[in-house]
Chains A and B, each alone.
Chain A
Amino acid sequence: MASYSTNEFKGGLKIILDGDPCSIIENEFVKPGKGQAFNRVKIRNLKTGRVLEKTFKSGESVEAADVHETDMQYLYADGEFWHFMDPDSFEQVSADAAAVGDNAKWLKEQDMCTVTLWNGAPIIVEPPKFVVLSVTDTDPGLKGDTSGSGGKPATLETGAVVRVPLFVQIGEAIKVDTRSAEYVSRAKED
């Protein structure tokens, strides 16, 4: 089993902690002049997204996590799993709700997503930074008011709800920033 010594600790290193894959965010070397050395580490649990801290004795070894990110194309959802394909090998993986989480609302078939694999299975699915989605529902009565103040809610084809300017109408495609869930512009559906 691969392992890392605390001397290899640095931001981004993937380790196993309490059975879960984790990524090191920050590593601090703590040592009294004449005493025991420790590594105080801030870690993100990649399955839950939670940030935790942990103190190790310097020189200890920790199990390495076989975790890597890869770009994959989103194919479809079957109600239980979301299916993705490696565009080079055509290999497919299926992600469960725990891996997809809230990001399900940004997943559009054919879009390229960043999938984090642990031992080959998806644990995190990240949508593209920008997605183009069509508006399936919004209040049409507000047409003509172009003051731009406030905007209105619009439901998108994937079920996501974002605030859009008043001029946006049902059937139009818009570009959305998935990190902030904010409307960016109108878009041509491609």
Chain B
Amino acid sequence: MTEKRDWHPSASLEMIRARAHLLGQIRDYFQQAGVLEVETPVLSRCGTTDPAIESFTTRYMGPAAPRGWDLYLQTSPEFPMKRLLAAGSGPIYQICKVFRQGELGHRHNPEFTLLEWYRPGYDHHTLMDEVASLVNRLVETPMEVEKLSYRAAFQRHLQVDPHLADGEQLRELAIERKIPGAGDLHLDSRDGWLDLLLSHLIEPHLGQSGMTFLYDYPATQAALSIVRRETPQVAERFELYLAGMEIANGFHELLDSDEQRRRFTEDNRLRVERGLPEVDMDEPLLDALAAGMPECAGVALGVDRLLSYLSGCRDLRALLAFDFTRA
């Protein structure tokens, strides 16, 4: 079937200029801050094991690979950037395209632009402060900055402790708070219910009068962050919200290679349980961690969503020169 497709951009020229201006401002900021811009491969022989993120895969054929290599398109530049840190790069940043299978909607495009940066010597709190100062340089009037722990957000909006409530209690809460269809949902983990409550009942309130950072996530949602040994355990991870929209995700980065391997293995176990393909874990990253990565914090910030916030345009398609249907 041949489908007649529109050749025009989906963004206005004005928006295309606004994007260029934003990228220029970001690069100015990091240049002044003495952070090095880097580029790392978009195609990689290893992918992310994260069960909530699916990679695009492709295949290389040619010199050096007579039988071909399976390759993943990056879902974030995190692993190679950490290898640079372990090699002594010092503070680094990157602006690049990343790819996520199956994500298309008002706030999602299967390929999007990430700004990712790493700060040796920082923890998640000092990095939140830097994210706030960067964002405040980009807006006309500097915003109030609110830091809210994941626990405090759930207590404030839902009167529940997200670290202590069990899956059944969270499910009942979702029904009681009238998330439509909550009673029919079959979620296979406590984290699934936390995600449902957060995305439906808490997120809309975040970053509505300034910027809101959520921090200290449940240890089960640590991803690649340090888990603090206290009771209950919390992960030194944060997210930035502007106008109810998730903009950035950051970690006080896990340094322990053995612990990282355990998490990758657990991710793959979950993948198998959910019928998802297993992903080859990134051995070079594990080797780099074992060789010694400096203590650091890192963050990934969605540039398209930031542009959405700054321009007031909530239609993702109008922010991309060519949206996914025109790609």
Contacts and interface: CB of A to CB of B under 8 A. Distances in A.
Interface of A: 7, 28-38, 40, 52-58
B108 A29 contact: yes
Q: In terms of DSSP, what is the predominant structure of the interface of chain A?
A: strand
B105 A28 contact: yes
A56 B181 contact: yes
Interface in B183-204: 185-187, 191-192, 194-196, 198-200
A30 B186 contact: no
13 contacts: A29-B105, A29-B106, A31-B52, A32-B199, A33-B249, A34-B53, A34-B223, A34-B249, A35-B194, A35-B199, A36-B191, A38-B196, A55-B180
A16 to B, nearest CB: 13
A38 B199 contact: yes
B192 A36 contact: yes
A52 to B, nearest CB: 7
B106 A55 contact: no
Residue from A28, A34, A58 whose CB has the most chain B CB atoms within 10 Å = A34
A179 B167 CA distance: 48
Interface in B100-117: 102-108
Given A55-B196, A57-B185, A34 B180 contact: no
A42 to B, nearest CB: 9
Contacts of A53: 180-181
Interface in B48-67: 50, 52-53
Contacts of B181: 53-56
Given A37-B52, A53-B180, 5 more contacts: A31-B103, A33-B246, A55-B179, A57-B185, A57-B192
A30 B167 CA distance: 20
B221 interface: yes
A29 B103 CA distance: 8
Contacts of A58: 102
